[in-house]
A and B are shown apart, each in its own frame.
Chain A
Amino acid sequence: MTGGFTGYARSTLRTASFLTALLLAGAALAAAPAPKFTLDPASSLLRFSFDQAGASNTGRFGKYTADVTFAADNLAASKIDVTIDITSLDTGDKERDDTLKSADLFNPAKFPKARFVSSKISAVGPGRYEAQGKLTIRDVTKDIKLPISFQTRDEKGKQTGYLTGRYTIKRLEYGVGQGEWKSLEWVKDDVLVTFSLKLTPVG
């Protein structure tokens, strides 16, 4: 065939290109604004528990920040950045808190913050995701895969985010346990971190 497209065919092609362009523009528009959130500290909890001599000891962090950008339909633009003030740890006992804040354990005098920054978030199920990223405790940074749940709820016209999850850290991998505290005889290696963060939209 040498006569080129017929008029009808040309017109159909033009319509198709237009529709494709429209769809692409629509997709770009839908994906563009992944909403930003910030922490509502009063309604959030960040806790940890560890086994000490066969008994579970629990504590919480009182001060931390979370900068979260999250859209289920635009995970590429989604990001979680949590920074924890180590000095705010609270196990309900001053002696235990002071011990945890000593040079051999968290040593906040030298390493005041712990931080998780995600680099990639992927969906694993309805409302469930895996946030790959870097966790820094003391001077050790490790790549981890953090399983999380994220939901939004309309609260007084605002899309409020709920970010929850649990993750077990091996404390010695992060150097939380120097000197005699390297011993796992009384304080086990596993530390379970659980969080449920309420996130209010920014802007």
Chain B
Amino acid sequence: MPIRNTTTRWGSVAQLLHWAIVVLIIVQFVLGYRTHWATGLKKLGTVVPHKSWGITILALALIRLVWRLANPTPLLPNDLKPWERSAAHVTHYGLYILLFAMPLTGWIASSARSFPVSWFGMVQLPDFVAPNRPLYDSLMTVHYWLSWTLVAIALLHIGAALKHHFVLKDNVLRRMLPFTKTE
């Protein structure tokens, strides 16, 4: 499998980034919701890795964006209707925006509550804002609703991928999967 993308297939780097982020987002939902219900030391046990993985996703998203801009993008099938094409673009843009918005709102919220973010205990990240409880509350509300927006868009994305694979029987899903052949 080539490292770089072609106009018909995602390369290995793009695939690795895509699937690594998928796994990490699932981990983030588990940690995020356990954090929501935990207190004291147990809360630290979930919120601390949640922050570290969130920063990891932010870094991967940045690499992914740069890689996408520096590579050809596999084309959408020619037989898509204009609304389907638009829907695909909106979904993809939305996912990219959320890959940045989720970690950034979390990071700024941590600063606003004077709980600085550390990346796996190795490096303390700078604070974006001074402690500000109302700002924290607003950001966490945004963080929460963005997470459900992410679920909604991801379901559309998965639904569309499955439709391409099982109904339209084209390459759209397969070209993001390793160990598959696409013509």
Complex Cα spacing A146 to B51, Å: 37
Complex Cα spacing A183 to B116, Å: 20
Q: Which of B102-134 contact A (CB under 8 A)?
A: 113-124, 131, 133
Complex Cα spacing A95 to B131, Å: 14
Complex Cα spacing A160 to B133, Å: 37
B48–A57 CB distance below 8 A = no
A55–B41 CB distance below 8 A = no
A92–B131 CB distance below 8 A = yes
Complex Cα spacing A52 to B52, Å: 13
Contact partner of A57 (CB less than 8 A), chosen from B115, B121, B122, is: B115
CB closest residue in chain A, given B116: A55
Contact partner of A55 (CB less than 8 A), chosen from B39, B40, B117, B131, is: B117
Contact partner of A186 (CB less than 8 A), chosen from B41, B116, B119, B120, is: B41
Q: Which residues of B contact A52 (CB under 8 A)?
A: 44, 115
Interface residues on A, range: 10 to 19
A20 at the interface (CB under 8 A from B): no
Complex Cα spacing A52 to B118, Å: 9
- Count A-B contacts at CB 8 Å: 45
A54–B40 CB distance below 8 A = no
Contact partner of B113 (CB less than 8 A), chosen from A93, A181, A183, is: A93
Complex Cα spacing A144 to B121, Å: 30
B118–A54 CB distance below 8 A = yes
A186–B45 CB distance below 8 A = yes
Q: Which residues of A contact B123 (CB under 8 A)?
A: 54
A91–B41 CB distance below 8 A = no
Q: Which residues of B contact A57 (CB under 8 A)?
A: 114-116
A56 at the interface (CB under 8 A from B): yes
Knowing A99-B40, A181-B41, say if A53 contacts B121 (CB, 8 Å).
yes
A54–B131 CB distance below 8 A = no
A54–B114 CB distance below 8 A = no
Q: Which of B42-101 contact A (CB under 8 A)?
A: 44-45, 48
A93–B114 CB distance below 8 A = yes
Q: Which residues of B contact A155 (CB under 8 A)?
A: none
B113–A186 CB distance below 8 A = no
B116–A56 CB distance below 8 A = yes
- Distance in angstroms from A188 CB to nearest chain B CB is 10
B114–A92 CB distance below 8 A = yes
Interface flags for B10-50 (1: CB within 8 Å of A; 0: not) read 00000000000000000000000000000111001100100
CB closest residue in chain A, given B124: A55
- Distance in angstroms from B107 CB to nearest chain A CB is 12
Complex Cα spacing A178 to B122, Å: 26
A186–B44 CB distance below 8 A = yes
Q: Which residues of B contact A55 (CB under 8 A)?
A: 115-118, 124
A180 at the interface (CB under 8 A from B): yes
- Shortest 3 CB-CB contacts between residues of A and residues of B: A54-B118, A54-B121, A55-B116
Interface residues of B (CB under 8 A from A): 39-41, 44-45, 48, 113-124, 131, 133
Of the A-B pairs whose beta carbons lie under 8 Å apart in the complex, a sample of 22, sorted by A's number, is: A52-B115, A53-B44, A54-B48, A54-B119, A54-B120, A54-B123, A55-B117, A56-B124, A57-B114, A57-B115, A57-B116, A92-B114, A93-B114, A93-B133, A96-B115, A99-B40, A180-B40, A180-B41, A183-B41, A186-B41, A186-B44, A187-B44
Seed contacts A52-B115, A56-B116, A93-B113; 19 additional CB < 8 Å A-B pairs: A53-B44, A53-B48, A53-B118, A53-B121, A54-B48, A54-B118, A54-B120, A54-B121, A54-B122, A55-B117, A55-B118, A57-B116, A58-B114, A91-B114, A92-B114, A93-B114, A96-B115, A180-B41, A183-B41
